[in-house]
Amino acid sequence: MRTKRVPVIGVIVLIAACSVAQQSTQQPMITNSGQAKFASVPRLPECAGFAVERGDPKGANSVTLINLASGCTVPMHWHSTAEELIFVSGTAQFQMQGGQSQNVSSGGYVYTPAHHGHQLTCANGCSFYRILNGPADIHYIDAAGNEISPESAMAAFGERPVSAVAQK
C-alpha cells in the first residue's frame, strides 16, 4: 500500500515543479508604443508595419502592435487561429465575410474566430494590438472563399505585398 503512494506523490511533485518552472520563465513587462521597432512582413501589404510586443508570432502565442497607413487595406483573408484586435488609434472599416462593414476606432475590440474571413481598411492611420494564441499565418480569399495569392488579393485595392526577397 505504501509503495503505491510514493509514485503518485512523486508524480505530483514533478508536475508542480514543471508548473513552477514554466511560470518563472514568464517575466512581467511594460512597453510604450514609442519604443516599438516596426518591420514589414512578407505576404502583407507594404503599407503595414508590425512590432512584436510579446511572444513569437511563429510560435504558440504573441501580441503584435500593428500600424496601417491611411487608406491601407488588408484584403479578405483568414487565419488558422482566432485573432483579437484592440484599437489604439485611428478609424478603420472592418468587415466579416458575408457581413456589413463596421467602423472600429480607438478603444474598439474585434474578435475573429479561426478560419473566418475578414477584411480591414484603415481610414486615417490605424494602430492596434493583435493577440494570437497560435502561429501567425494569413490566407487571402476571393468572394467565393477560395484561397488566392497575396498579389491577386491586393491588386483590387492598389496594394502590393511585401516580397520575401525584400526581407533578406
Burial class (CB within 10 angstroms; exposed 0-12, middle 13-18, buried 19+) of 12? exposed
- Mean pLDDT calculated for residue range 70-79: 96
- Report yes or no on 139 lying in a domain: yes
Q: What values do phi and psi take at 82, rounded to 5? A: -65, 150
Percent of the chain, pLDDT > 90? 62
Which residues share a beta bridge with 50? Answer: 39, 66
Quote the pLDDT of residue 27.
81
CATH (domain of 42): 2.60.120.10
Percent of the chain, pLDDT > 70? 82
- Mean pLDDT calculated for residue range 95-110: 96
> Residue 143: in which H helix or E strand, if any?
none
Quote the pLDDT of residue 36.
79
Quote the pLDDT of residue 25.
60
- Report yes or no on 18 lying in a domain: no
- Mean pLDDT calculated for residue range 104-108: 96
Which grid coordinates are listed for 56?
A: 513569437
- Mean pLDDT calculated for residue range 104-110: 96
Q: How many domains does the chain contain in total?
A: 1
- Report yes or no on 91 lying in a domain: yes
- Report yes or no on 81 lying in a domain: yes
Kind of pairing, strands 101-105 and 109-112? unpaired
3-state SS, residue 65: strand
Sheet of 139-140: strands edge to edge?
A: 101-105, 91-96, 118-122, 73-78, 139-140
Of the two residues 59 and 131, the one the predictor is more confident about is: 131
How many Å apart are CA 32 and CA 36, to the nearest integer?
7
Name the average pLDDT for the chain: 83
Q: How far is CA 29 from the centre of its chain?
A: 19
Quote the pLDDT of residue 80.
96
Structural domain range at position 118: 33-167
Instruction: Tell me which residue has cell 518552472.
Output: 21
Weakest mean pLDDT among 48-57, 70-79, 83-92: 48-57
- Report yes or no on 63 lying in a domain: yes
Instruction: Give residue-wise pLDDT tens across range 2-52.
Output: 545 444 333 333 333 333 334 446 788 777 767 778 888 888 999 999 999
Weakest mean pLDDT among 8-22, 117-131, 145-159: 8-22
- Report yes or no on 127 lying in a domain: yes
How many Å apart are CA 43 and CA 61, to the nearest integer?
20
- Report yes or no on 108 lying in a domain: yes
Quote the pLDDT of residue 154.
93
- Report yes or no on 120 lying in a domain: yes
